Structure 1
Amino acid sequence: MPTPRTPKPMKRADIAPFLTAISQNNPTPQTELLYTTPFTLLVAVVLSAQTTDAAVNKATPALFAEAPDPAAMAALGATGIARHIRSIGLWQAKAKNVAGLSHLLLERHGGEVPDNREALEALPGVGRKTANVVLNEVFGQPTMAVDTHIFRLGNRTGLAPGATVRAVEDALIARIPKPMLRPAHHWLILHGRYICKARKPECWRCPGASWCRYQPKPTAAAARIPTELPKDPS
């Protein structure tokens, strides 16, 4: 199959129909991270850096049962937090960050998760992407947290081409119709996770394929063609 070409930007008139199409089965999407409060979401997102949501969801129930709020988490400390998250990548640094952000939430914000970017990004382990997730999911703000899936879709589909994460974020904010911006964050993540996959995009079952600029689109039959010779069993 020919190598797909870099697509041209998606027409602005096609953006709303594309997003409507990929949202068909999930009109009110939510994060797949398990959480019960703004604090537990913040911790889960910090833990999810360079780790799958599924891996985080296996570790956090026991952690949150022991430390459901900043005071309990701060008391648990980095060593106690680490006990629960050793299965997660970068667990040592993340344990320190979660302990540190819990202390700062108590010291600066009365134990509450702040609803503004500057205060969130001042917390240990919280960068722009993490702040965007919390602002979107908890506070309903029209932010766009560009992870690997959204970065790929922004470029592959032509929705918001950009050489950097921030460039894709800014383009998505500028190009997506305002009423669709908040849910679009989750629509794109889930679409990239389950359909528009990194190595083998499943274009034949993509409801937004007719608006996507990715060419040539692989078919189900093409996807079944082996890409490597089978190993010699002898």
Structure 2
Amino acid sequence: MLAADPPNIEVAQEAARRTIRDGNRAADVIARLRALFSKRPPTIEPIDLNEAAREVIALSSGDLQRNRVVLHTEFADGLPPVGGDRVQLQQVIINLLRNASDAMSGVDDRPKQLVIRTELDEDDHVHLSVQDAGVGFGPERTARLFEAFYTTKSEGMGIGLSVSRTIMESHNGRLWAERNRGPGATFSFSIPEYFGEGLREVGTVRASAMGNAQSPAGIR
């Protein structure tokens, strides 16, 4: 762009801004994941889960379109904020969206529909789920989905769901998977509402306790 005659300064500047933005985001993700595996408690702040999910969808839209995935959102109105580390929680959502998209890569006899929804859960928790119409998984694989280095992908590493479940447990939440009645599967997580500094103390205690326990792991 700069070598053109005349040089396209405006487009080059925008490309540089995007490069800086993406580099900063990658550095932030790495820093938060290092903190996670260093057994440090997450940074607890109030997060609008709907807004966080919308940002992830915007980041993932290109990949979803290339895979011809039809995305539907069902976000509940008036949800309370959840307490957590925004970057870490968004990494969980990104992983669930990519897994859902990958699970439908070989589907050609039905629409590649993906539904992401949020709703108020019981016990002061907020629930987010990602439902796909992919190949799903059999009962023999259910117990292994969260094992370390277990994957059903030909090029998978088997660590995505491992990291995701560890993140959710460090936030006093949980992550699980269910087979759909029809095609595909649904992966969900539930996380506590934000209650200020009180949640920070609970998260610290839970994260410290995790240092002495082995976390379940795996990837789809």
TM-score band by shorter chain is under 0.3
TM-score normalised by length of structure 2 = 0.25
Bigger CA radius of gyration? 1
TM-score normalised by the chain length of structure 1? 0.24
Q: Which has the higher helix share?
A: 1
Q: Which has the higher contact order (CA 8 A, sep 6+)?
A: 1
